[in-house]
Amino acid sequence: MQISRLEKLLEFIKNEPDDPFLKYALATEYLRINETDKALAYYEDLVNNHRSYVGTYYHLGKLYEALDRKQDAINTYETGMLVSREQRDNHAFSELQGVYNALTGFGDDDDDDY
């Protein structure tokens, strides 16, 4: 019997229950198999208990968008931009800023038409 990726991750997290990488991997795997409630729980755990795990903010924000929770997505992107700035992670900041701007309409030049 072949063990699934999810089963392997669940086994690993039993031994390392506070490992942010494993939590992130589980969230991503649950999202991949369309178990959004479980994915959401792991992503939210990460932002609440592992604030500096900057990769979470983009994916949690996107999940909030998919769940039609726009304000939660905006708040997540804003927090992620602050955290990525603190960590001097310009790549993460740029990605978060891009999705934030797209979601909020910030930077749209449509109002500049004469």
Residue 112 lies in a domain: no
Average pLDDT, the chain: 92
CA distance 23 to 37: 14
User: Is the pLDDT score of 88 beyond 90?
Assistant: yes
CATH of the domain at 22: 1.25.40.10
Residue 43 lies in a domain: yes
54 contacts 83 by C-beta, under 8 angstroms: yes
Between 51 and 110, residue with greater pLDDT: 51
- Expressed as residue numbers, the domain containing 81 is 5-104
pLDDT digits (tens, 9 = 90+) for 34-70: 999 999 999 999 999 999 999 999 999 999 999 999 9
Region 67-95: mean pLDDT is 98
Residue 54 lies in a domain: yes
Query: Which ranges of 16-113 does DSSP label H, i.e. alpha helix?
Result: 20-32, 36-49, 55-66, 70-86, 90-104
Residue 2 confidence (pLDDT):
58
pTM: 0.88
